[in-house]
Amino acid sequence: MQVSRLLQMTYILLEKGTVTAPELAERFEVSVRTVYRDVEALSQAGIPVYTSQGKGGGISLTDRFVLNKSLLTDKEQDEILFALQSLSAVRLPDLGEAFSKLSSLFRKNSTSWIEVDFSPWGTGDKQKELYTLLKQAILEQRVISFTYLGAAGEHNSRKAVPVKLLFKDRAWYVEAYSFERGALRTFKITRMSNVQLLEGEGTGLLEFQQVRTASAGTSDEEIKVNESPRIRLVLNIEPAGAYRIVDEFKEEEILKLEDGSFQLISDMPSGEWLVQYLLSYGDILEVMEPESLRLEMKARTAKMAQKYSG
């Protein structure tokens, strides 16, 4: 993200001449200190950028400087543009503008060769705003507060310092230092609500710096799953479930039967999560082994049927 910001900053300085650090900080939603770090990075990269004090002062480029696009080959220019297109998967609003400006600078047509969107259907501006807020918290190492929906349906107030965004198993997560746990934890973004960026929250940040590289970011649910004993499953799944089992199981665990159905043999962690996962297949799945899990599924489905018996 810093490379994209540096390119945009250079373009803005070329276009406007002199810009103040607070203006750039507001534009990129970072701190003034981060802007000055970017200025230093540009200078180290050979861009003749300088700062001036007093009225009319700010950050500028030397008058005779021109961003020489010939420093990049056609292939390198294409790779930069393609990378920006791929990054649009996180739906950050500034990437489209950066892509447009660089396309113009390189004099290249806007060829939309790829489109990746990891966001769920129906998500809108609210989720985009959350990504922007989390990005700011990560870049500035700021504390956030939020309400988190736990696996058992309970709502808990949490404080944390976000470290990075993760996309795993078709969902977005944020890895963050949790003050309640005193360690890095992973939170599913769709379970977070009332997210706020706190002002003047320095308490615990030193502790965060000490443990951030020594602790793995693991969700409470993931800890429970990983610590659960594994059991050998034998499942029969009807042909209608083919699209799911290909996505969710290894090829060597899948056996296609003569009637077009599938038999799956897999080792999976036991627990409530496993029952809920198997129930998500509905009536196209039948547990063959172990017998204890087969009986549990029978009891659960009977209880479900009872709710609709009236």
- Read off the CATH number of the domain in which 31 is found: 1.10.10.10
Task: For residue 112, tell me if it sits in a domain.
Answer: no
Q: Which range among 37-46, 96-105, 171-180, 274-283 shows the weakest confidence by mean pLDDT?
A: 96-105
233 shares its domain with 207: no
> pTM for the whole thing?
0.45
Identify the domain boundary among 202, 225, 248. Answer: 225
Residue 267 sits in the same domain as residue 252: yes
CA 93 to chain centroid, in Å, comes to 15
What backbone phi and psi angles, to 5 degrees, belong to 56? Answer: 80, 0
Check residue 214 and give its pLDDT: 42
pLDDT digits (tens, 9 = 90+) for 272-304: 878 888 998 999 999 999 999 999 999 999 999
Cα angle 116, 120, 126 (rounded to 5 degrees) comes to 105
Q: Which amino acid does the sequence have at 62?
A: T
Domain presence at residue 213: yes
Which CATH number does the domain housing residue 295 bear?
Answer: 3.30.70.240
Please check whether residue 127 is in contact with residue 190, taking contact to mean a CB–CB distance below 8 angstroms. Answer: no
CB atoms within 10 A of CB 99: 21
The domain that holds 195 is classified in CATH as 2.30.30
Based on the domain organization, do 21 and 89 belong to the same domain?
Answer: yes
| Per-residue pLDDT reduced to its tens digit, 216-237 | 455 555 444 445 678 899 999 9
Q: Which pLDDT score, from 0 to 100, does residue 215 have? A: 44
pLDDT for residue 55 is more than 80: no
What is the number of domains present in the chain? 3
Are 195 and 249 in contact, with CB atoms under 8 Å apart? no
Residue 229, phi-psi category: left (phi > 0), alpha (psi -120 to 50), beta (remainder): beta
Q: Which domain holds residue 286?
A: 228-307
pLDDT value of position 63: 66
